[in-house]
């Protein structure tokens, strides 16, 4: 049983749904990364900077050399470290979203996007 529960933003779900048929390997790799993250294996890749500072990332490598990142926040860590202030600026529904969660056991998944792409281009 996973250590954490998952919550997905609409942006995350739309990205996964839109790529299910044409980019099956990406979807499978993203789902595997989500399972690892929920088991508490965040990796040492740390926090994002810039527009998404305070959120974490986990890289997903695909055959052929393409690299994607899964962008997420560990709720308890976000609140403890004060990252909620940054995340609320980026994800405008964060305050209402966060209020309804069990902070000790929840991870919120925001995006799956190519590493080389700017995350500011996505509507959260």
CATH code, domain with 87: 3.30.2310.20
Indicate the number of domains in the chain: 1
Q: Write out the two tokens for 20.
A: 């299910």
The first and second tokens of residue 83, run together, are 């990252």
**Separation of alpha carbons 64 and 68, rounded Å:** 12
Give this prediction's pTM.
Answer: 0.84
The pLDDT tens digits for 20-56 are 888 999 999 999 999 999 998 877 777 887 777 778 9
- Is 31 a domain residue? yes
Domain range for residue 42? Answer: 5-114
The answer to the question of residue 124 being in a domain is no
Helices (H) and strands (E) counted in the chain, each on its own, are 5, 4
């Amino acid at each position: 049983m996973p250590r954490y529960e998952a919550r997905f933003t609409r942006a995350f779900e739309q990205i996964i749904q839109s790529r299910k048929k044409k980019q099956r390997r990406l979807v499978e790799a993203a789902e595997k990364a989500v399972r690892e993250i929920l088991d508490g294996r965040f990796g040492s890749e740390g926090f994002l900077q810039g527009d998404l500072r305070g959120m974490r990332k986990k890289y997903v490598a695909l055959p052929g050399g393409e690299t994607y990142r899964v962008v997420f926040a560990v709720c308890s860590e976000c609140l403890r470290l004060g990252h909620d202030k940054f995340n609320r600026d980026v994800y405008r529904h964060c305050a209402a979203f966060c209020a309804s969660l069990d902070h000790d056991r929840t991870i919120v998944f925001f995006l799956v996007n190519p590493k080389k792409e700017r995350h500011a281009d996505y509507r959260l």
